[in-house]
Amino acid sequence: MTTAAQHPTPRHALLARLLDPEQVVMFDGAMGTMLYARGVFINLCYDELALRSPELVRDIHAAYVKAGAEVVETNTFGANRPKLSQYGLESQVALINRRAAELAREAAGEHRLVAGAVGPLGVRLEPYGPTSREEAGRHFAEQMQALLEGGADCFVLETFGDLDELQQAVLAARAVDARVPVIAQATIGQDLRTAFGATPEDVAVALDRWGVDIIGLNCSIGPQTILEAIERMAAVTDRKLSAQPNAGMPRDVAGRRMYMASPEYMASYARHLVNAGAKVIGGCCGTTPEHIKAMVEGVRPLAPRTRVQVGNTREFAVENAAPVGREPVPLGERSRFGAKLAAGQFVTSVEIVPPRGIDTSKLELDAQALAKAGVDAINVPDGPRAQSRMGAIATSLIIERHGIESVTHYACRDRNLLGMLSDLLGASALGLRNLLLVTGDPPKMGPYPDATAVFDIDAIGLTNLVSKLNRGLDPGANPIGEPTRFVVGVGVNPAAIDPEQELRRFHWKVEAGAEYAITQPVFDPAQLERFLESIHDVRIPVVAGIWPLVSARNAEFLANEVPGVTVPESVLVRMRKANERSKEHALAEGIAIAREALERVQSSVQGVQISAPFGRVEYALDVLTARTV
């Protein structure tokens, strides 16, 4: 097997994406469903069609390629010796598999991958049947060798209910060629167990231990149950996950068993599956090219661009091709805030939470005061801590009437992809330019815990979406005419509980198109300095979040009840001691702590965002007086 480092072709690049744990890759859908729809009776050997009706098989592969599938599976699910013997075809195992792989390769070309599909043998293994493990391994190896000879790039072992049998297939794949990627997928029922009683966790742990490249589930059930199982698998393995559900459960319609899940429904669940951790997505029984096309469009905004290294010997750069579109308007020409960032100048901003009702009089007075004080922008949170307040876009438009720019926070929690696109196009048309893209706090932490969260995409996917809009393209890479002129910001938490994950996500945000970042409130400047050092290789302008504490109770609340905020014990002690003297002393101490943080970090960052606790902008202005010009 030639390595990508020797010949970096589009197939090698896609193979690297398949192996990259964070890259989203789309498989095709059902083959049997399509063959049946084209008049092939179910009592025939579908695998033999590679020899008897090659044009039919090739056309179905081509339809999936046209729909956007990046990997097509060979029509060989049952092309092993025990199953073919039922049709008297056991002598043609190699011929059928090799020809099936050739047909898939002809349709896939050099820009798509071919996955050699391998299913169960259809016989019981010892101790539950007469077939030994060694004999099973030989059957699998015979099929896999022929698939490689025909041009398969990887193996997909699918629809296994017996983990013992699946292990023999994995061992056979490694014996045939240890360098060929292996995707291993079990199948479960509505009770979230395999036919032999294994749970999703059991499957994930076993496959992880056996060293397969990608772990997953397919067939038998629809996307809702697969989603629940994937969530459970993600909790017990770091391996890349795959999900290829049926198009729902089959229903009896006029005497026929029909799969009723629409392409739109499958696309919706494809997004949920990606957000749950599955990065290889496709379809099984009942899915068609129409389903795959919808799923491709549905997950497109969730796919990050990244630089990958696969193993110790296969190293090369892989990036999703930049979408065809216009060059973005230069950062310095999009807004005054963007111009200062582009010029390397220090920016100042104050965060004001939108009003709970429709009275905006205080908001407007505060905007006037901050504009007069020379603050560059007002940050407007989008439903912070899942509270119901005036929308961030409407609040931002009201603020900008008073001569000061806004930085509009935009969260993924409350809107589906279409709603986000509509909002952003409208915001651009109305003149808003500065965005801070965030995933959003879940409803359960707010006053309306029964509210439904959407989370079609997260902040990384949203950054991809806005970056495309700045190139004049919608999420499907279709032209929208005049491009948007957003200044694209993202959030980052230097005090994250899992710093490695936070660092990975920050890299992905930058790759997706982030142009600046605002941190969570910083109470420990040394922690921020360490974080800044860790991102030196992907450094974009960083604006430090600073929150003036007003009381010991306020400090305790932030430390214990606000996700993503860390208040050091030393700060809590200072606030408690000050509070013992008086409320006034506590307020003064909180502002002093914020000033100290600003004085220390201002030479390391390109701006500050000062929060206005309880809407008191004068506290934020008191902190800003500590800045040295």
Tally Cβ neighbours within 10 Å of residue 10.
Answer: 12
- Position of tokens 């050091």? 568
Same domain, 112 and 261: yes
Q: Distance (Å, rounded) from C-alpha 204 to C-alpha 514?
A: 34
Give the CATH number, domain containing residue 348: 3.20.20.220
- The pLDDT of 48-68, averaged and rounded, is 96
DSSP string, 90-144: GGGHHHHHHHHHHHHHHHHTTSSEEEEEE---SSPBTTSSSB-HHHHHHHHHHHH
| Structure letter (DSSP) for residue 75 | S
Q: Is 284 marked as a binding-site residue?
A: yes
Same domain, 156 and 269: yes
Among the three residues 266, 288, 303, which one is the final residue of a domain in this structure?
303
Least confident of 66-70, 77-81, 120-124, 448-452: 448-452
- Whether 35 has a pLDDT exceeding 80, the answer reads yes
Among the three residues 285, 303, 321, which one is the final residue of a domain in this structure?
303
Same domain, 30 and 105: yes
- Whether 318 has a pLDDT exceeding 50, the answer reads no
Same domain, 298 and 335: no
- The pLDDT of 294-312, averaged and rounded, is 60
Within-domain flag for 587: no
Amino acid occupying residue 35: L
- Position of tokens 């495309």? 468
Q: Distance (Å, rounded) from C-alpha 613 to C-alpha 350?
A: 10
Within-domain flag for 596: no
- Enclosing domain of residue 395: 331-549+604-624
Sign of CA dihedral 127, 128, 129, 133: negative
List all residues 6 or more positions away from 401 whose beta carbon is below 8 Å from its beta carbon: 364, 367
Same domain, 250 and 139: yes
Q: Terminal CA-to-CA distance of the chain, rounded, Å? A: 61
Same domain, 69 and 150: yes
**How is the chain split among helix, strand and coil, in percent rounded to 5?**
45, 15, 40
Same domain, 345 and 448: yes
Q: Distance (Å, rounded) from C-alpha 50 to C-alpha 56?
A: 9
CB 7 within 8 A of CB 317: no
- Position of tokens 């068993």? 257
Q: Distance (Å, rounded) from C-alpha 579 to C-alpha 19?
A: 55
- Can you say how many angstroms the Cα of residue 560 is from the centroid of all Cα atoms in its chain? 28
Least confident of 225-229, 374-378, 387-391, 468-472: 387-391
Within-domain flag for 201: yes
Within-domain flag for 1: no
- Whether 562 has a pLDDT exceeding 80, the answer reads no
Same domain, 94 and 187: yes
Within-domain flag for 559: no
Among the three residues 303, 319, 343, which one is the final residue of a domain in this structure?
303
Within-domain flag for 556: no
Amino acid occupying residue 340: K
Instruction: For residue 253, list its beta bridge partners.
Output: 256
Q: Is 154 marked as a binding-site residue?
A: no
CB 305 within 8 A of CB 52: no
Same domain, 356 and 288: no
Same domain, 48 and 93: yes
Same domain, 610 and 467: yes
Amino acid occupying residue 135: E
The pLDDT, as a whole number, for residue 257 is 54
Within-domain flag for 577: no
- Can you say how many angstroms the Cα of residue 63 is from the centroid of all Cα atoms in its chain? 26
Q: Is 285 marked as a binding-site residue?
A: yes
Same domain, 362 and 292: no
Within-domain flag for 571: no
Give the CATH number, domain containing residue 66: 3.20.20.330
pTM of the model: 0.54
| Count of the separate structural domains present in the chain | 2
User: Tens of pLDDT along 367-409?
Assistant: 999 999 999 999 999 977 667 789 999 999 999 999 999 999 9
- Whether 250 has a pLDDT exceeding 80, the answer reads no
